[in-house]
Structure 1
Amino acid sequence: MQKILVPCDFSMSALLGLEFAVELAHATSGAIIVLSVTSQPPEDEGPPVSERYREDFENFVIGVSQPVHIQQQIRFGRLLPAVSDVIIEESVDLIVMGTRGSRGWDSTFIGSNVERILRRSPVPVFAVNQKSHLGNLKNIVLPCNLILEDHFGMVHLKKLQTLLNARLHLLRVDTTTDGTNHQVLAQKVSEYASFHSLSKFTINIVTDTDERDGILRFAKEIDADMIAMTTHGSRDLGHLYTFSVAADVVNHAHLLTWTCAQQSVSQLL
């Protein structure tokens, strides 16, 4: 059974993620763990935040019509350590988070947490910034990093593609701006697709001075339903650029995004 972790403070944007997770769990016979984290110590005076989280969770569950197993965990402290602990303790397979897109992350996801979650998560991450339905996800933009190693991320992506019965639009952004590399890049993308045994895809090369802008512009032009990105799972500083591009795309995209590190769980923990 797939276990889906949903960090949730029950804000409007966080609920978008939770609603999408319910639909995903129903389609995959999965189970949901709702993680609510508060920095308020249990001994503090005043109405406990944990109690509000518990009430919000109960009210949400009442409105769920699909037969999906949902449980809540409330933890005290900081978000990132709590997420990491639950992933290990519960053998989580996927994270789903509600976001506010280009306006930034909602209260739970302020600041550098975006990049940290993308970098540290040993499992795929969905970022949901608008109401999304599985049945509508038919066109997925896949920016290609052209890495012919570590199948972990691509294995998960192919499973997702099969579940959605979607088409992949393989994309490489040529930042040289003169267009002279297009033929070479197209060949490399074709080799990348063959190496990873991809099917049902198109090959696309676009020119832009900024990789993030090129990805977002292309996704808008083809009216894509989702952007998927695989990244290095290394914490080596030399790979921070890759992570920053992924985090930047997630934070500025006006559609569903999915990211996954191209290394196994054991390599990242």
Structure 2
Amino acid sequence: MKRILVPTDFSAHADNALKIAAQIAKKTNGEIFLLHMLEVPNQMNDAITGSTAIPEVMLFIKKANETLQKTKDKDFLKAIKVTESVKFESAFEGILSFCRKNKIDLIVMGSHGVSGIEEVLIGSNTEKIVRLSDAPVLVIKKNTTEFKPANFVFASDFSKEIKKPFKKMIKFASLFNAKLNLVMICTPNSFKPTALSEQIINDFMSGFDIKNYSTHIYNDVNIEKGIRNFSNSINADLIGLCTHGRTGLAHFFTGSISEDLVNHAIKPVITFRI
């Protein structure tokens, strides 16, 4: 993962994500793409450049570029190649477009999470990126200052469709010599006998040549709470998931475990698209 994108709104959460991205870039000898999305009202799109440019818009652009340059010059980014960009597009659409054009390997984003009616009505750009990004997304929480994921939880149903993204998960874990704690969450709505659950995980793992892992079956009232409670019980450093890019009514009715975890988990979460 050598091409790392860090979207920034210049908040403390974004700055914290950038610090973690810098640690990963040093580990992989990678480069960082620092992106600020400037959402200009539609009626102003034609006035961004040229002789008719609106002074207020040009001021926003100038300030954004100045702040990006100051961010790029921070001490923790020394010796790392950093490319900064300002783009004019809605945040999540612009981020996804930038990823495709620049062949990004990993997105690192900060999140403080939302809850209650705010979560239902507007969600967050981070959640949308988690749902729709083809590149893995690492979501950093406000209390994360050092990224050493020695104890890595991977929660899954261990179906065949998970095998391809799981290969990327293994590569990421190996960068940090992390132990993988493979867990299947059993709930009243998705109950499986322990023997069957163990057989599913063992059959899944038979195609992979890795040694530093353990398997677990954990019971809880729902999958999201099960993942959080299990992760807390083993003092995990990172939670990993594979996610579907569901949209529209299918997403509304089924929900998204990945997005719920991004909002509610205290620990960093990394997602890989199926």
State the TM-score, normalized to the length of structure 2: 0.84
- Describe the SS at the equivalent of 1:254: coil
Q: Counterparts in 2 of 1:211-222, with a 5 A limit? A: 211-222=223-234
Render the CA deviation track for 1:137-193: whole Å, top value 9, x for unaligned.
100111022121364311211111110101011111110289872222122122222
1:143 paired residue number:
155
Q: Give the conservation status (yes or no) of the 8 Å contact 2:110–2:141.
A: yes
* Pairwise CA RMSD: 2.6
Per the TM alignment, residue 255 of structure 1 is displaced from its structure 2 partner at its CA by: 1.2
Structure 1 pair 2–178 and aligned structure 2 pair: CA distance change class (3 A) = closer
Q: Give the conservation status (yes or no) of the 8 Å contact 1:102–1:254.
A: no
Structure 2 distance, partners of 1:176, 1:153, is 27
Letter in 1 for 2:70: N
1:155 paired residue number:
167
1:133 paired residue number:
146
Is 1:195 equivalent to 2:207 in the alignment? yes
Q: Counterparts in 2 of 1:79-118, with a 5 A limit? A: 79-101=91-113, 111-118=123-130
- Describe the SS at the equivalent of 2:270: strand
Per the TM alignment, residue 62 of structure 1 is displaced from its structure 2 partner at its CA by: 2.2
Structure 1 residue ranges without an equivalent (≥5): 105-109, 263-269
Is 1:20 equivalent to 2:20 in the alignment? yes
2:63 paired residue number:
52
Is 1:78 equivalent to 2:82 in the alignment? no
Structure 1 pair 240–30 and aligned structure 2 pair: CA distance change class (3 A) = farther
Structure 1 distance, partners of 2:37, 2:54, is 15
| More moved, 119-128 vs 172-181 | 172-181
2:133 paired residue number:
121
- Describe the SS at the equivalent of 2:75: coil
Equivalent residue pairs, number: 256
Structure 1 pair 216–242 and aligned structure 2 pair: CA distance change class (3 A) = farther
Structure 1 pair 126–218 and aligned structure 2 pair: CA distance change class (3 A) = same
Q: 1:164 aligns with which of 176, 179, 182?
A: 176
Structure 1 distance, partners of 2:254, 2:75, is 38
Render the CA deviation track for 1:79-126: whole Å, top value 9, x for unaligned.
12211221121111111101114669xxxxx62534421222111000
Structure 2 distance, partners of 1:127, 1:57, is 21
Q: Which has the larger radius of gyration?
A: 2
Structure 2 distance, partners of 1:50, 1:194, is 53
Structure 2 distance, partners of 1:91, 1:177, is 39
Structure 2 distance, partners of 1:184, 1:156, is 26
Q: 1:245 aligns with which of 243, 246, 257?
A: 257
Per the TM alignment, residue 30 of structure 1 is displaced from its structure 2 partner at its CA by: 0.7
State the TM-score, normalized to the length of structure 1: 0.85
Letter in 2 for 1:46: E
Render the CA deviation track for 1:49-94: whole Å, top value 9, x for unaligned.
3323222222222223441000111011201221122112111111
Structure 1 distance, partners of 2:25, 2:253, is 33
Structure 2 distance, partners of 1:241, 1:202, is 33
Structure 1 pair 132–228 and aligned structure 2 pair: CA distance change class (3 A) = farther
Sequence identity (%): 27
Structure 1 distance, partners of 2:172, 2:15, is 22
Structure 1 pair 139–242 and aligned structure 2 pair: CA distance change class (3 A) = farther
Is 1:34 equivalent to 2:46 in the alignment? no
Is 1:62 equivalent to 2:90 in the alignment? no
| More moved, 171-180 vs 214-223 | 171-180
